[in-house]
C-alpha cells in the first residue's frame, strides 16, 4: 500500500550557526588597508592630470590629489580633500559601486592590470580622521537663517552639513528613531561593521549648528506648510518609504517578506542568532537590495538561496561585481523568469514559487514564454524596488513619474523648497548621488538666502 506525502513543512529556524560563525560571516567585507598596503596601492596611481576617475565620481572628488597625499603621508590632508566634496566619504568608500564608477575608468584598468583600489584608499584616509575626531571644517559666523531638512539620510546630512558650514542653523526632522537613513537601515551588515554609520553621523553633526528631531515624519508629525512658516528654507530628502508589490497570487502568505525590512531588522539586531531564516530562500529582484538580502540569508545559515530576476544578467541593476559576490557566497542566480504564483501547501505558509520563463522582444517588452518551473521555498523576499509616497507633498509640489520634480539646483516647483536623493526624479538610488544632491541644494539655498 502506498501513502501520499503531505505538504512539505517549512523549515524556518533561528540560531542555525554558532556565535563564532555569525561573527566570521558578518565580519568586514573589505578589511581596512594597513599603512604599508595603502602606500603600495597609492604608488600605483599615475596621478593623471585629466583624470577620468574624477569625471566618473558623482561628487567630483579630486582623486589623484587625495591619493598623492596618502603617498606622501599626509592622511589628514587627504581626508580633507575627500570630505570637501563628499562629507560622507567614509560610508561611500564602503558602499559605492566603485567598480562601475571611478575604478572602472581608471587608466590602470585593462586586460593585464587591475584598477587602483580607489575606494579602499579613500576609506584608509577618512577612517583615521573620523577615529581621531578631528573635524576639518569650521562653521562660518552665524547668519540667523534657519533651514528645515526632512530626512537624516545621505542627502539630508550632506545638505545640513554644508548649510552649517555657511553659518546657517539647521533642524533635521527624521521619521525613524535613528539617523543615517539608508546607510543605517538599508546596507548589508558586512559592508559597514562596528556601528560605522552612526559614528559617521556623529562626525558630520560635530560641526555644530545642527539639531536632529527623530520620530518626526512629514505628513504625520509635521507638515510642509508648517516647515515653510517656521524656517527660511526647506530641503526634502526623505528617500523612498514604500515597497513595490509583486501583485502576484499568494503574496500575502506567511513567509513572504519585504527584503528592505529584512535588511533593516538584521542591521538593528543585537544577536544574529535570534534571527530566523529559512532553509530554502528565494529572493525576487535584481538590484542591490536583492543581492544584500540573498547573501545575508546565506550568511545567517540558509542552505539554498536563489535570486530570480525577470530579465537577463546584463539588465540587473546590481553590478557584475555584486552578482559575482553573491555567487561566491553560494547564492544561485536565475535570469529571465517571473513569478506567476506563490504557492502554499497548507494554505497559509509559502512553500514554493512557480515561475514562468520570459523573453524580451525587439521593442524591449517582456513577455512570458508559457514554460513554467517551481522552486521550493521556506521564505520569499520581495526586492523589486521601492516607491515614493507623495501624500505629504501632494498638490504642493510637481510630481513626475512618481517622484518630486526638481531643476539643476535641486529646487522644486514650490518657492523656498529644495529636494534631493532617492525621492526626486532622476535619483540614482546611490549614496554618493544623494550626497551630491544635498551638497548642490545647500549651495543653492545659501545663495538664495544671501541675496
The whole-number mean pLDDT for each consecutive block of 10 residues of the chain, a chain of 451 residues, reads 59 95 95 96 94 96 97 97 98 94 94 93 96 91 98 98 98 97 94 95 97 96 97 96 89 95 95 97 96 98 98 93 96 98 88 96 91 97 92 93 96 98 89 97 98 83
Q: Please report whether residue 393 resides in a domain.
A: yes
Residue from 33, 28, 45, 196 nearest 121 by CA: 33
Is the CB of residue 318 less than 8 Å from the CB of residue 332? no
Q: Please report whether residue 107 resides in a domain.
A: yes
Q: Please report whether residue 265 resides in a domain.
A: yes
205 and 272 assigned to the same domain:
no
Residue from 365, 419, 358 nearest 392 by CA: 419
46 and 167 assigned to the same domain:
no
> Which residues 6+ apart lie within 8 Å of 163 measured at CB?
147, 149, 170, 442, 445, 446
pLDDT at 8: 72
pLDDT at 144: 97
- Give the Cα separation of 150 and 284 in Å (integer): 31
439's enclosing H/E stretch is helix 431-450
Q: Please report whether residue 222 resides in a domain.
A: yes
What is the domain extent for residue 117? 32-132
Q: Please report whether residue 27 resides in a domain.
A: no
In sequence order, the β-bridge partners of residue 366 are 360
Is the CB of residue 438 less than 8 Å from the CB of residue 157? yes
What single DSSP character describes residue 28?
-
Q: Please report whether residue 365 resides in a domain.
A: yes
The number of domains in the chain is: 3
- Give the Cα separation of 139 and 162 in Å (integer): 9
pLDDT at 2: 43
pLDDT at 3: 47
Give the phi and the psi of residue 21 in degrees, each rounded to 5.
-65, -40
b/e per residue 360-378 (b: at least 16 CB within 10 A): eeeeeeeeeeeeeeebbbb
Which among 355, 382, 409 is the end of a domain? 382
What single DSSP character describes residue 159?
H
189 and 279 assigned to the same domain:
no
Joined grid coordinates for residue 53? 576617475
pLDDT at 317: 92
249 and 233 assigned to the same domain:
no
188 and 202 assigned to the same domain:
yes
Which among 382, 398, 421 is the end of a domain? 382
Q: What is the CATH number of the domain that holds 283?
A: 3.50.50.60
Residue from 281, 286, 324, 288 nearest 305 by CA: 281
309 and 271 assigned to the same domain:
yes
Which among 97, 132, 167 is the end of a domain? 132
231 and 329 assigned to the same domain:
no
Q: What is the pTM of this model?
A: 0.94
286 and 344 assigned to the same domain:
yes
- Give the Cα separation of 21 and 377 in Å (integer): 24
Q: Please report whether residue 9 resides in a domain.
A: no
354's enclosing H/E stretch is strand 350-360
351 and 261 assigned to the same domain:
yes
- Give the Cα separation of 291 and 214 in Å (integer): 29
- Give the Cα separation of 383 and 259 in Å (integer): 5
Q: Please report whether residue 10 resides in a domain.
A: no
104 and 88 assigned to the same domain:
yes
248 and 377 assigned to the same domain:
yes
Residue from 55, 39, 114, 119 nearest 82 by CA: 119
DSSP strand E in 45-181: where? 146-150, 169-174
332-334 and 304-308 beta bridge pairing:
parallel
Tell me the three state secondary structure of residue 412. Answer: coil
pLDDT at 10: 84
264 and 358 assigned to the same domain:
yes
Is the CB of residue 132 less than 8 Å from the CB of residue 90? no
Amino acid at each position: 500500500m502506498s501513502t501520499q506525502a503531505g505538504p512539505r513543512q517549512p523549515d524556518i529556524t533561528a540560531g542555525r550557526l554558532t556565535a563564532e560563525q555569525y561573527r566570521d560571516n558578518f565580519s568586514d567585507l573589505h578589511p581596512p588597508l594597513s599603512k604599508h598596503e595603502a602606500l603600495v596601492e597609492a604608488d600605483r596611481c599615475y596621478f593623471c592630470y585629466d583624470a577620468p576617475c574624477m569625471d566618473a565620481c558623482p561628487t567630483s572628488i579630486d582623486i589623484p590629489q587625495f591619493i598623492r597625499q596618502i603617498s606622501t603621508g599626509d592622511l589628514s590632508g587627504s581626508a580633507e580633500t575627500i570630505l570637501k566634496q563628499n562629507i560622507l566619504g567614509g560610508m561611500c568608500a564602503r558602499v559605492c559601486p566603485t567598480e562601475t564608477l571611478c575604478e572602472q575608468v581608471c587608466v590602470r584598468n585593462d586586460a593585464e592590470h587591475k584598477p587602483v583600489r580607489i575606494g579602499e584608499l579613500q576609506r584608509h584616509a577618512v577612517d583615521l580622521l573620523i577615529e581621531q575626531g578631528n573635524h576639518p571644517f569650521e562653521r562660518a559666523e552665524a547668519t540667523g537663517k534657519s533651514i528645515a531638512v526632512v530626512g537624516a539620510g545621505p542627502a539630508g546630512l550632506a545638505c545640513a552639513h554644508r548649510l552649517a558650514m555657511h553659518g546657517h542653523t539647521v533642524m533635521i526632522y527624521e521619521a525613524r528613531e535613528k539617523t543615517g537613513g539608508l546607510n543605517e537601515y538599508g546596507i548589508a551588515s558586512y559592508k559597514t561593521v562596528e556601528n560605522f554609520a552612526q559614528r559617521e553621523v556623529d562626525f558630520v553633526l560635530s560641526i555644530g549648528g545642527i539639531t536632529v528631531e527623530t520620530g518626526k515624519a512629514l505628513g504625520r508629525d509635521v507638515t510642509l506648510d508648517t516647515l515653510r512658516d517656521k524656517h527660511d528654507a526647506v530641503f526634502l530628502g526623505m528617500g523612498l518609504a514604500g515597497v513595490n508589490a509583486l501583485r502576484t497570487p499568494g503574496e500575502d502568505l506567511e513567509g513572504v517578506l519585504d527584503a528592505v525590512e529584512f535588511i533593516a531588522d538584521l542591521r538593528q539586531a543585537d544577536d544574529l542568532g535570534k534571527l530566523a531564516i529559512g532553509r530554502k530562500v528565494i529572493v525576487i529582484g535584481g538590484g542591490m537590495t536583492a543581492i544584500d538580502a540573498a547573501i545575508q540569508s546565506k550568511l545567517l545559515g540558509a542552505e539554498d538561496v536563489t535570486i530570480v530576476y525577470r530579465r537577463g544578467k546584463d539588465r540587473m541593476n546590481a553590478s557584475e561585481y555584486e552578482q559575482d559576490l553573491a555567487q561566491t557566497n553560494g547564492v544561485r542566480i536565475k535570469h529571465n523568469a517571473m513569478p506567476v504564483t506563490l504557492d502554499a501547501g497548507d494554505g497559509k505558509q509559502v512553500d514554493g514559487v512557480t515561475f514562468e520563463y520570459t523573453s524580451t522582444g525587439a521593442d524591449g517588452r517582456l513577455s512570458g514564454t508559457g514554460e513554467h518551473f517551481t522552486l521550493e521555498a521556506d521564505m520569499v523576499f520581495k526586492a523589486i524596488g521601492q516607491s515614493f509616497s507623495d501624500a505629504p507633498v501632494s498638490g504642493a509640489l510637481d510630481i513626475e513619474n512618481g517622484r518630486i520634480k526638481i531643476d539643476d539646483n535641486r529646487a522644486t516647483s514650490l518657492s523656498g523648497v529644495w529636494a534631493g536623493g532617492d525621492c526626486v526624479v532622476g535619483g540614482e538610488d546611490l549614496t554618493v548621488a544623494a550626497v551630491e544632491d544635498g551638497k548642490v541644494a545647500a549651495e543653492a539655498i545659501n545663495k538664495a538666502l544671501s541675496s
